[in-house]
Homo-oligomer: A and B are copies of this chain.
């Protein structure tokens, strides 16, 4: 029987959460491959069978962690650009919210970064990225149509912003730069200026 079709009681749901949270932390600290299933179940003080009651494999557990993390990030991004804002304000808020969420979720950020380097998980990661990028590109496109910024390849600019976001968050999470509001603002400004000053390369 597939573990993801199993009917879980509240007790079961809690155990599943424990496994996901403990494993995510160990994966982030030690790496995915070097962290064994034995280590995870010992850390929770349970038998090995518990693990395979809730997950078909170690890979599937990691995919579950990824999916839930992406869903949470996505929710925060959505909330950040809600309300009555100009397109450019939406872009600014979206970038800032993503950075702030990432600073609160260093474990997931680290796992996202690893997932990008492993073929087993890269596809799943890309799915989530594509949605976020498409949305950001949509806001940029609207800013262009509103005349706030010159026309250019909106998707590419969104990807560039994601690059800035990823780098800044990585530096803050590893303690290489401080996570002050001023530095976040400078990073956000870099992004906004990057798209605002973009030369017209579109064919519109």
The answer to whether A183 touches B199, judged by C-beta atoms less than 8 angstroms apart, is no
Query: Which stretch from A1-9, A37-45, A72-80, A117-125 is at the chain B interface?
Result: A117-125
Q: CA of A189 to CA of B193 in the docked complex: distance in angstroms?
A: 10
Query: Is the beta-carbon distance between A194 and B190 smaller than 8 angstroms?
Result: yes
Q: List chain B residues, Cβ under 8 A from A156.
A: 177, 183, 186-187
**Count, chain A residues at interface, CB 8 A:** 49
Let me know if A49 is at the binding interface, CB within 8 A: no
Kindly identify, within residues 93 to 110 of chain A, every residue whose CB is under 8 Å from any CB belonging to chain B.
110
Min distance, Cβ A162 to any Cβ of chain B, angstroms: 6
Taking a contact as CB atoms closer than 8 A, the residue among B110, B163, B198 that contacts A189 in the complex is B198
Bound Cα distance from A191 to B163, whole angstroms: 11
| Prevailing SS type, chain A contact patch | helix
Which of A15-23, A61-69, A164-172 is the contact stretch? Answer: A164-172
Q: Which residues of B contact A190 (CB under 8 A)?
A: 157, 160, 194-195, 198
Q: How many angstroms between the C-alpha atoms of A171 and B198 in the bound complex?
A: 20
Selected from B126, B166, B194, the residue in CB contact (under 8 A) with A191 is: B194
CA separation between A9 and B163, bound complex, in Å? 44
Q: Which residues of A131-178 have CB atoms within 8 Å of chain B's CB atoms? A: 152-153, 156-157, 159-160, 162-168, 170-171, 174, 176-177
